[in-house]
Amino acid sequence: MTTAIIGTGGIGSAIARQLASGGETLRLSSADTASAHTLVREIGKAAVVAADNRDALQGANAVVLALRFTVLKSVIDEITDPLTDKVVAVPSNPVSLDAQGKLVHLLPAGQSSGEVVAGWLPAGSHLAMAFGTMSADLFESSSKRSPDRAVLFFATDDDSAGEEVERLIRTAGFEPIKAGGLEQSSRLEVGGDLHDLVVGPAEAQSLISSTGAAGARKAAVSVSAHTPVCDLLGIDHPIVGAPLSADPRLPAAVSNAGGLGTLGLGWADDAGAVVRETAALTDRPFAGNFVLAFDQRGRIDQALSAGLGVVSLFWGDPEGYVEQVHDGGGLVMHTVGSVEEARRAVGCGVDIVVAQGWEAGGHVWSGVATLPLVPAVVDAVAPVPVIAAGGIGDARGVAAVFALGAQAALLGTRFLLAEEMPIHEEYRRRVIAAAETEAEWYRDLYAVGWPDTTHRAIRNSTAEMWEGAGRPALGGRPREGEVLAHFASGEAIVRYEGAPPMVGTTGEIEPLSLWAGQSVALAKRSQSAAEIVAELVSRL
């Protein structure tokens, strides 16, 4: 019989070695072709390296998808048609490492990996969750134990899958025992009561019958105000502050309140210095945001070297940055505006997806509203966690995006009124006074310094002047180049420049870029960041 194994990491290699020693013929495929060829040389004639994942399935009776849970769906999508009518064994555990290297679950309590994977597979395939109940080392050391073989538990709802997986488990040197249907697969996962057990058949049957459906994941993650992405990021509350400036005071305050503060580092002269300054104000995790319309490799290196643990990317393709961040020990959080973009981001290794709806303030990447965008992205990239952004202004909005499947909410406009946010008082007053209709979407209005963008800001005299002239491009706008104000540093701010007024700005404030989202009508008073975070999670 022939079995395909896709993925030759630790558990994939262990499964391949034990199946081959039991006489199984193998077709191997791996993103790391060098490791696959090394494994074939070790195994011998019983295995060959296929040209790609689809080629591996040719002539195979069954396939073992020995992949990280975070990439499992993208590989299934790639080989959907050949999987029809195949028995599919999945050993993947829905776990990942957080920024501190701790193991966290990617699925909420009560949701089994088997049921999730079943939803990804094509109709006609036959799924069993199997071969993932032991670590690779324990799997190999427990194979072909005597006098009584060790048990390998599996879970399936499919008789055809059960028969084939039982054969494969015996071939690998174990005694197969079914723990139950796919809803019971959480018992086999890391943290489950049947994980990493080396027991004989009698004891295994006793465990099955005595524990039953209640034997789910140990120390499972709650799905109330604390979600798996909270564990991944090392935060207490599922609230993320938008990157409103490079000033460390607000990001540090949000992080000290249990959320994730975010620095805007895309224009920082020394990103590392800003990270160190922020770290002096908080011992909690915080993020740094980088705009990919410009080359950010140097700034990201500076930030990572200074200890930044979460890199937030926006407005571009993250592929060229993911390896850099991961090599530097960081997590990658990328903002998207469509399902297609989300899939591409996950495909290149992004750890967390931010789905930003059209209602957001400042620079807006998406043309889709938050309500339809978030659930579509959640479904497309599961189990990679999704954070919702755009139009969220209070605890009701946070609860709403949780109902859409988001694991956290990212807010900017609400945090403009945080006491720790150093915006000009006139800007603060304009935000408090604004109605939801006054935060308007513009194509390339504030184009000086960052052209060809879409953004949302409070309507003002600059917008009215530009629209009255027919919305001309730069080079033909009324009063273009006019100096309106100066930052505290003395740097000039010209008309049509994307430069919101901060504390210390002098000159005309009303005509400047007053970024705000459609949730501006819900931002009515200044509060501390801690009070804002507490209110935002009050309905979870």
Within 8 A by CB and 6+ apart from 115, the residues are 182, 183, 185
Vertex 198 angle, CA 196 and 204, to 5°: 100
Within 8 A by CB and 6+ apart from 86, the residues are 57, 60, 61, 62, 63, 125, 126
Q: For each of the domains in the chain, give its residue range(s) and CATH number, in order of start.
A: 2-214 (3.40.50.720), 228-417+525-536 (3.20.20.70), 425-522 (no CATH)
Measured CA to CA, the distance from residue 93 to residue 194 in angstroms comes to 13
The yes-or-no verdict on residue 97 having pLDDT over 90 is no
Alpha-carbon distances of 76 from 238, 347, 416, rounded to whole Å:
30, 12, 42
* pLDDT confidence bin for 99, thresholds 50/70/90: low
Average pLDDT over residues 30-57: 92
Measured CA to CA, the distance from residue 360 to residue 414 in angstroms comes to 11
Q: Is 360 helix (H, G, I), strand (E, B) or coil?
A: coil
Q: Which helix (H) or strand (E) holds 249?
A: helix 249-256
Measured CA to CA, the distance from residue 330 to residue 464 in angstroms comes to 43
Segment 366-413, tens digit of pLDDT: 999 999 999 999 999 999 999 999 999 999 999 999 999 999 999 999
Average pLDDT over residues 162-183: 95
3-state helix, strand, coil in the chain (%, to 5): 35, 20, 45
Q: Which helix (H) or strand (E) holds 486?
A: strand 483-486
- Which residue is associated with the tokens 């930003």? 356
Query: Would you list the DSSP string of 363-391?
Result: E---SS-HHHHHHHHHHHHTTS-EEEESS
Average pLDDT, whole number, for the chain? Answer: 92
pLDDT of residue 223: 33
Strands 331-336, 362-363: pairing is unpaired
- What is the edge-to-edge ordering of all strands in the sheet holding 47-49? 47-49, 25-29, 2-6, 62-65, 87-90, 126-130, 151-156, 175-180
pLDDT of residue 207: 81
Q: Is 341 helix (H, G, I), strand (E, B) or coil?
A: helix
pLDDT of residue 140: 87
Segment 411-459, tens digit of pLDDT: 999 999 999 999 999 999 999 999 999 999 999 999 999 999 999 999 9
The single-letter code of the amino acid at 286 is: F
pLDDT of residue 101: 56
454, HSE (Cβ side, Cα atoms, 13 Å): 14
The yes-or-no verdict on residue 23 having pLDDT over 80 is yes
The yes-or-no verdict on residue 509 having pLDDT over 80 is yes
Average pLDDT over residues 532-540: 89
Q: What are the helix and strand counts (H, E) for the chain? A: 21, 24
Global pTM value: 0.66
Strands 483-486, 454-458: pairing is unpaired
* pLDDT confidence bin for 333, thresholds 50/70/90: very high
Q: Please give the radius of gyration of the chain, using alpha carbons only, rounded to the nearest integer.
A: 27
Within 8 A by CB and 6+ apart from 200, the residues are 148, 149, 150, 151, 175
Dihedral sign from CA coordinates of 64, 70, 72, 75: negative
pLDDT of residue 212: 46
pLDDT of residue 102: 64
Segment 184-225, tens digit of pLDDT: 998 998 888 898 888 888 888 888 775 544 444 433 333 347
End-to-end CA distance of the chain: 52
* 128 and 176 Cβ atoms separated by less than 8 Å: no
Measured CA to CA, the distance from residue 152 to residue 176 in angstroms comes to 5
Average pLDDT over residues 474-491: 97
pLDDT of residue 215: 44
Average pLDDT over residues 250-267: 97
Measured CA to CA, the distance from residue 428 to residue 436 in angstroms comes to 15
Within 8 A by CB and 6+ apart from 58, the residues are 27, 50, 82
